A and B are shown apart, each in its own frame.
Chain A
Amino acid sequence: MIKEFDAVVIGGGPAGLAAALSLKSNGVKRVLVSEREDVLGGILQQCIHNGFGLHRFNEELTGPEYAERYIDFVKEADIEIYTSSCTIDIVNEGESKTVYLMSELYGLVEVKTKAVILAMGCRERNRGNIAIPGSRPSGVMTAGLAQKLVNRYGYMPGKEVVILGSGDIGLIMARRMTWEGAKVKAVVEVQPYPGGLNRNIVQCLNDFNIPLYLSHTVTNIKGNNRITSVDIAPINEYREPSKEEQFTLTCDSLLLSVGLVPENELSLKVGIELDKVTSGPLVDANLMTNVTGIFACGNVLHVHDLVDFVSEESEACGNAAAKYINSTLTKGEEIPVRTGNLVRYVLPTKVEPGKEALLSLRTMATAEGVTLYIKSGDEVLYKKKHKKIFPSEMQRVLIKQVPADAKKLDVLFK
């Protein structure tokens, strides 16, 4: 089957839905969202805890509720939706792109389109990526898989739990498993600071007296059929565990919350260049990749901690893509955005002088009493004092107008 659209959005999670809506409201006629699962909403559908939507809707929603709001908007907006539709390839033919979908309903669909928005999200890092020594028993899984099994299927993977990594999903699952009657014995974090948001440390660990071991790691997994115990040890600055201070916790499951990686397999196929720091596509001020007409937003671009920011970024992306489709996207001169002291990355890495710029940044360490500066030469465009900064908390800064004569922007803490 051959179809024609103006824009194809790949992924029907929060990023894809917001991008599709924004395309539509900016005058793009034929918009298709291709979603792999049988329902829209992406990973939000298994995040049944609340805390979503504080920025967007000024209220606390659960993941499925947040998703539902966007799904309702999309349904009213005359946007074509394919669910159970896996995007298998994108071919760039210059002005036009061909997106290949394998859909349960339509079989192979060849979609001709002017623009593509990548919104495939991210995946969890797993045991192999961090090479935890030990045996290979049942009961070791990512926190996200455990979350899916508990929240969407109604089955618990274990009753005596250790969690490695203090990413948000791990923290949320510590509370969730406790509520369902499991004993969560420890959350173990290799860094000297937590991987997840501070509010989750308080609400998911402290409130339940679940111990958090910072600068510790799991040094061994034991058990042949089912996991029976893990060894845990403090680590030194070279990440070497201390054998003397090692201790053992018995458990029947080990959940891993050791980071997320943008899913860019499709992007690589069509020749998109990735940023080594974020693992997402390199994009310009319009969130367009190096392949003209292909844009990226949400967790496929860089891992966010708040869905509200994903929606915001994706709207901006949809807006830019709409301009591209309507041939009103003017691509002016671009200047680089450079990372300074304590800044791990800033996105986008290029902005246009004279225009608005929304910057996302993450720090590379914790620090107290520091001030964030965004400067063009000696001119300070933005300045904010922070009591404490964490790598786990993304900062968003809107620069209303980048000076027309700016040669570069510097982002740094002092």
Chain B
Amino acid sequence: MSTNFDVVVIGCGVVGAAIARELSRFKIRVAVLEKEADVSFGTSKANSGIIHAGFHSAPDSKKAEFVVPGNRMFDKLCEELEFPFERHGELMVAFSEEEIRILHTYYERGLQNKVPYLEMIGRERVLEMEPALSPDIHAALFAPTAGVICPYEFCFSLVGNAVQNGVKLHLNSKVSWIGKTPDENFEIETANGEKYSTDYIINAAGLFADEIASFVGLNDFKIHPRKGEEYLLDRRVGSLVKRVIFPTPTKTSKGMLVIPTVDGPVMVGPTALDIDDKTDFSTTREGLKEVFHHAQKMVPEIRTNDIITSFVGLRPSPSGGDFILGKTVVEGFINAAGIESPGLTASPAIAEYIKDVLIKEGLRLELKKDFDPYRKNKSVRVRHLIDERKFDEFSKVVDENKDYSILVCRCENVTEAEIIAAIKDGHTTLDGIKFATRAGTGRCQAGFCTSRVMEILHRETGIPFEKITKKGEGTEIAPYPLKKGGVK
């Protein structure tokens, strides 16, 4: 028996999530299939979190077409979904006359792409805006409309709102086969033995979009992984910079960035290396050297001693070099593939476009009267109350729910109430809870809170202690009970 849907979205990274949320406005049956144990677990979780202004993309590209409108949509999205978002701008810095000429080409590009408020500014103003930058800088291209978000929190909020409005989310659901039924519907099978039938498929499978397309006989594009290593610095280092700092790109490299994350710590990276293996998530000595060499040139205070963690993201780089969007020769099969940078920024605009494609392809979309664009039951972030010394408010929060008085992660000040809320939102792995709450993202990197979170997860879900995983089956934390073992 298969479950019937009007639209099935394959892949729940930020693109799939934005599409699902857009479609949740309408009276249709939508399912999202995600192969991992949680959403945002692929490329999106490793995203730098930059909401680009849009001067990087070549005019006439789909990237340029979607990045500027996407950027504009973030204020409203932030208001509705309450994810952290700071619109502080980005600076592309030049160290020589020659680099200033390159800046100028990006300035022109930005004007063509209709990026608002672009300015080329001199050294003095650059250093006034960002005192931590190297005094050797000559000039910068300043785009005030750029900003930063937390990519997985954005993704979680989109999915949470979509689910709240009726979208069905299926995790651990890797698509293993797609066929057609006699009445011309798609039939989808997943590796965990489930079947789904649907009129439309949206292929938002990121790195694996080419493999999904080939299930319906489409072999017209390939997705190549392009590896990016990123390094996160200790909160103690402070923000160092307020804006996203780019170097002037060279022929071979877009360069390493210094990124102020919305959560406070600075991130540096990413590298860009074309590889063959879609499962190679390894950081390297060379990558580390490259990142810090470039970052230190722009912000001399940055030190490798301050690294608290590093990670790798694989960009889904399409063979044609541009986003692959829209209908295909297979009726009802729609691509949202090859969404590399500036994909995060473009994602809400892409979602609207995909909705329009669905209408053109004959799907009748009628607005739900009861669609609620606002995110429900958002957990309090105790960390902010402690950082800002709002103790009275903290006290009130605790009076309403005692679980807010139990601090589980002391580096990031995350309470038991926040962990329980994340579990209730469907996060059942340590990584999922970490991304949802920040428990374990701080300087001790989960040394203290791992066992506490495991206890809570065990208590709230009944998952046996030995079956609790980092990021899904096969990643158990403590898989072997001692003979006389048991949770304390």
Residues on A facing B (Cβ under 8 Å): 36, 84, 86, 88-89, 100, 102-104, 107-108, 110, 123-124, 126-129, 131, 133-138, 141-142, 144-145, 148-150, 152-159, 180, 219-222, 224-226, 265, 268
Provide the bound-state CA to CA distance between A142 and B307, in Å: 17
Q: How far is the CB of A178 from chain B (nearest CB, A)?
A: 14
Closest to B392 in A: A108
Q: Which of B57-65, B159-167, B209-217, B401-409 contacts A (4 or more CB under 8 A)?
A: B401-409
Please tell me which one of the listed residues A89, A104, A138 contacts residue B470 in the complex, with CB atoms under 8 A apart: A138
Partner of B471, one of A84, A138, A221: A138
Residue B391 at the chain A interface, CB threshold 8 Å:
yes
How far is it, in angstroms, between the C-alpha of A86 and the C-alpha of B407 when the chains are bound?
Answer: 7
| Top-9 shortest CB links A-B | A154-B485, A155-B478, A138-B475, A128-B309, A225-B474, A156-B480, A138-B470, A86-B407, A108-B395
Q: Are A157 and B477 also in contact (CB < 8 A) when A108-B391, A129-B307, A138-B470 are?
A: yes
Residue count of chain B within 8 Å CB distance of chain A: 63
Output the least CB separation between B417 and chain A (Å).
12
Residue on A nearest B284 in the bound complex, by CB: A133
The verdict on A221 contacting B307 (CB below 8 Å), with A89-B389, A141-B450, A159-B480 known, is no
* A224 close to B481 (CB less than 8 A): no
Q: Which residues from B are CB-within-8-Å of A123?
A: 443-444, 447-448
Q: How far is the CB of A129 from chain B (nearest CB, A)?
A: 7
Once the chains bind, are B281 and A136 in contact (CB under 8 Å)? yes
Neighbouring A residues of B386 by C-beta, 8 Å = 88-89
Interface residues of B in 467-487 (CB under 8 A from A): 469-482, 484-487
B112 close to chain A: CB less than 8 A: no
CB pair A36 B410 closer than 8 Å:
yes
6 further contact pairs, Cβ within 8 A, besides A100-B391, A219-B285? A134-B282, A137-B470, A141-B477, A145-B451, A154-B486, A225-B475
Contacts of B26 in A (CB 8 A): none
Query: Are B478 and A156 touching (Cβ within 8 A)?
Result: yes
Question: Which one of A128, A133, A136, A137 has the highest number of Cβ atoms from chain B below 10 Å of its Cβ?
Answer: A128
CA distance A293 to B179 in the complex (A): 75
**B307 CB contact (under 8 Å) in A103, A131, A155:** A131
Q: Which residues of chain B are near A153, meaning CB under 8 Å?
A: 451, 454, 465, 478, 485-488
Residue numbers in A under 8 Å from B407 (CB-CB) = 36, 86, 88, 102
Closest A residue to B482 using CB positions: A154
Q: Which residues of A contact B391 (CB under 8 A)?
A: 89, 100, 108, 110
How many angstroms between the C-alpha atoms of A148 and B478 in the bound complex?
A: 11
The interface bits of chain B over 389-428 (1 if a CB of A lies within 8 angstroms of the residue's CB, else 0) are 1010011001100100111001101000000000000000
Does residue B137 face the partner (Cβ distance < 8 Å to A)?
Answer: no
Among B284, B309, B478, point to the contact of A157 (Cβ < 8 A).
B478
Least CB separation from B466: chain A residue: A155
Partner of B485, one of A136, A137, A155, A157: A155
For the complex, give the distance between the alpha carbons of A158 and B478 in Å: 7
Chain B residue numbers with a CB within 8 Å of A219 are 285
Q: Are A226 and B413 in contact (CB under 8 A)?
A: no
- Taken together as a complex, chains A and B put the C-alpha atoms of A133 and B451 apart, in Å, by 25
CB-contact partner of B405 in A107, A145, A155, A225, under 8 A: A107
Nearest CB of chain A from residue B320's CB, rounded to whole Å: 28
Q: Does B308 contact A (CB under 8 A)?
A: yes
Q: Please report the C-alpha to C-alpha distance between residue A131 and residue B269 in the assembled complex, in whole angstroms.
A: 14
Please report the C-alpha to C-alpha distance between residue A84 and residue B236 in the assembled complex, in whole angstroms.
26
Are A154 and B284 touching (Cβ within 8 A)?
no
CB-nearest residue of chain B relative to A148?
Answer: B451
What CA separation (Å) do A134 and B282 show in the bound complex? 4
Note all chain A residues with C-beta closer than 8 A to B310: 128, 131
Across the interface, which residues of A come within 8 angstroms of B445, CB to CB? 126-128
Q: Is B288's beta carbon under 8 Å from chain A?
A: yes
Q: How far is the CB of B119 from chain A (nearest CB, A)?
A: 37
- Which of the residues B232, B477, B484 comes within 8 Å of A149, measured between beta carbons? B477
Q: How far is the CB of A333 from chain B (nearest CB, A)?
A: 34
**Would you give the shortest CB distance from A389 to chain B, in whole angstroms?**
26
Whether the pair B475, A226 counts as a contact (CB closer than 8 A) is: yes
Q: Is the CB–CB distance between A155 and B402 below 8 Å?
A: no
Name B213-257 residues within 8 Å CB distance of A.
Answer: 231-232, 236
Residue of chain B at shortest CB distance from A120: B410
Shortest distance in angstroms between A173's beta carbon and chain B's nearest beta carbon? Answer: 13
Q: Could you give, for residues 280-292 of chain B, a 1 whenever the CB lies within 8 Å of some chain A CB and a 0 otherwise?
A: 1111110110000
Q: Which residues from chain A contact B474 at a C-beta distance below 8 Å? A: 138, 225-226
The answer to whether B480 touches A155 (Cβ under 8 A) is yes
Bound state CA distance, A134 and B229, in angstroms? 11
